[in-house]
A and B are shown apart, each in its own frame.
Chain A
Amino acid sequence: MNVLEVKNLTKKYGTETLALSDLNFSVKEGEFVSVIGQSGAGKSTLLRCINRMIDATEGEVIFAGVNMCKLDKKALRKQRRKIGMIFQHYNLVNQLTVIENVLHGRLGYKSTLAGVVGSYTNEEKRQAFEIIDMLGLTEQVYKRCDQLSGGQKQRVGIARALIQNPKLLLCDEPIASLDPNASKVIMDHLRNISTKLGITCLVNLHQVDVALKYADRIIGINKGKIVYDGPPDLTAEQIHMIYGSQAGELIIDIGGRNES
């Protein structure tokens, strides 16, 4: 069954700049899809058009049978609960503790007042502690997030997404700000989430080698267009197509790159 269908998705900034042009693809339940391409190719915009952090100019995004683009504000909030999002810069509230940040994932389910005062049910708290434990953050539960390492911050981000009880996880460059060891931990967690929890993952990645290693399927984007969509056994030529026609050493170069 398809969790996500993207049809004719186009995004223009202003009248000239075409960020995404006529994208079509669908994603099956539990699939781990990696989106690769140069920075500026439109990966981030694509992810944000799916949960409508950015409004698409044209086209449809059908998530769990609902067209995201047609929803009003309230229905959109309700729909967003089922989509977790992971960010390159973690986007945590640094002055709050780990557990407080994780519980933010439940805000979509809250009335205005309950959310404002931060009142959560016992069951929600229990789940939060379990997820934190699962991700190996138990010792950090009451630490403020500005005292955590990058890898720990990203795990808090994952916990916040998981407690939403999501069907789909959108990961925007989740390891671009991390060192290789922390990157591996994060990618292993994401892979487990997809395989063992059956949550669909759509992961933007800079690093081709990581994408090839972890993904079930690769979508290659170049200048806002899909230029590859298929299994993770790309030829060097296909990789060149995605990253533009540049020298042969490029693959290794990109594979080892660690910045955004």
Chain B
Amino acid sequence: MRVEALIKRRRNNLIFFAVLLAATLVSIIITEFEVTKAFTSIPRAIGWAVKSFYPNANSLEKIPKILVKLRETVLLSIASTTVAAIFAAFLALFGSKTTQINSFLAAVSRGIASIFRNIPVAAWALILLLSFGQSSLTGYFALFFATWGFLTRAFMETIDEVGSEGVEALKAVGASYFHIIFQAVIPSSLPQMISWVLFMVETNIRSSTLVGILTGTGIGFIFNLYYKSFQYNAASLVVVFIIISVLVIEYISNYVRRVIL
């Protein structure tokens, strides 16, 4: 019996790796991926980075310009995340098993959240570009929609996990729906929700770099500008500033999380 089980597991593993190998070959062919080039380009990239991808004295003059764009990007990600969080909180209340009003509305909210979440932020940006043009608002709404979808799901899970503790007790004392939401669900899920919002702010700074490249705004635009005009020293300075801002925000979020959770 044991031997048979072992053979079966062996065979399953074999099938798994065969499928993996086939998928790899198909992927390599379909994407025209040149394996040798992949290996040779890594040392080339390192060589290039050491030779020309670092901030020099000239590029330091661009700091004020970069900082303006960085501020725009950071504020854009914060503003889109907070507003999306408010919308997500409502949708999550409708969609969560604990607080849903009825199962039909719950299914609708979950469907909406799933659609918004599963359209990539780059696709949102390209869709909105057509009507909003190259303004901050394009990026704002692109980040807003994707964040709304993501946070709705995160909040729903939070409410079902920790927000349901006091609900039954409050029902039993005769509290109304709104009492329960404000006195039990919100106080118990708020710390976890804040943690998700901070996570999204962090994520959105990276996403808004991408969106900026597509829509010609913020830090992504200025990186693309220097990059395309071969001003690699200035472009590397942009990268340095992005790294600093992401790490600072990560540090603050970790501190807040440690205290409130």
Report the 6 A-B pairs with minimum CB-CB distance, sorted nearest first. A108-B174, A107-B175, A80-B174, A91-B169, A93-B166, A115-B179
Residues of B at the A interface (CB closer than 8 Å) are: 162, 165-176, 178-179, 181-184, 187-188, 190-191
Known: A80-B172, A85-B173, A104-B173. A95 touches B190 (CB 8 A): yes
For the complex, what is the distance from the CA of A78 to the CA of B175, rounded to whole Å?
9
Interface check A194, CB cutoff 8 A:
no
Whether A91 pairs with B187 at a CB distance below 8 angstroms is no
| Interface set, chain A 92-110, CB cutoff 8 A to B | 92-96, 101, 104-110
Residues of B within 8 A of A110 (CB): 175, 179
How near does chain A come to B222, taking the closest CB pair, in angstroms?
43
Complex contact B178–A93 (CB within 8 A): no
State whether A81 and B165 are in contact (beta carbons under 8 Å apart), knowing that A94-B188, A115-B183 are contacts in the complex: no
Q: Does A87 contact B (CB under 8 A)?
A: yes
Q: Are the CB atoms of A53 and B166 closer together than 8 Å?
A: no
Q: Which of B171, B181, B183 contacts A118 (CB 8 A)?
A: B183
CB pair B183 A108 closer than 8 Å: no
Say whether A108 contacts B182, CB under 8 Å.
no
Total A-B Cβ pairs within 8 A: 94
Q: How far is the CA of A53 from the CA of B172 in the complex (A)?
A: 7
Give the chain A neighbours of B184 by CB distance below 8 A: 93, 104
A184 at the interface (CB under 8 A from B): no
How far is B184's CA from A52's CA once the two chains are assembled, in angstroms?
20
Q: In the bound complex, do residue B183 and residue A104 qualify as a contact, i.e. CB atoms below 8 Å apart? A: yes
Q: List 13 A-B contacts (CB under 8 A).
A: A53-B168, A77-B174, A77-B175, A81-B174, A91-B167, A94-B165, A104-B169, A108-B175, A112-B176, A115-B176, A116-B179, A164-B173, A170-B172
- When chains A and B are docked, how far (Å) is the Cα of A237 from the Cα of B179? 48
Contact assessment for A78 and B174 in the assembled complex, using a CB-CB cutoff below 8 Å: yes
Q: In the complex the two chains form, is A51's CB within 8 Å of B172's CB?
A: yes
Q: Does A11 contact B (CB under 8 A)?
A: no
A107 in contact with B169 (CB, 8 Å): no
Chain B residues in 8 Å Cβ range of A218: none
Determine which of B165, B173, B174, B178 lies in contact with A112 in the assembled complex, contact meaning CB atoms within 8 Å. Answer: B178
B165 and A107 contact, CB distance less than 8 A:
no
Most chain A CB atoms below 10 A, which of B162, B167, B176: B176
**Cβ-defined contact, A107 with B168, below 8 A:** no
Residues on the B chain within 8 Å of A117, using CB: 182
> How far in angstroms is the closest Cβ of chain B from A140?
17
Hey, which chain B residues are within 8 Å of A96, CB to CB?
A: 187-188
How many angstroms between the C-alpha atoms of A103 and B117 in the bound complex? 39
A residues within 8 A CB of B170?
104, 107
A77 touches B176 (CB 8 A): yes
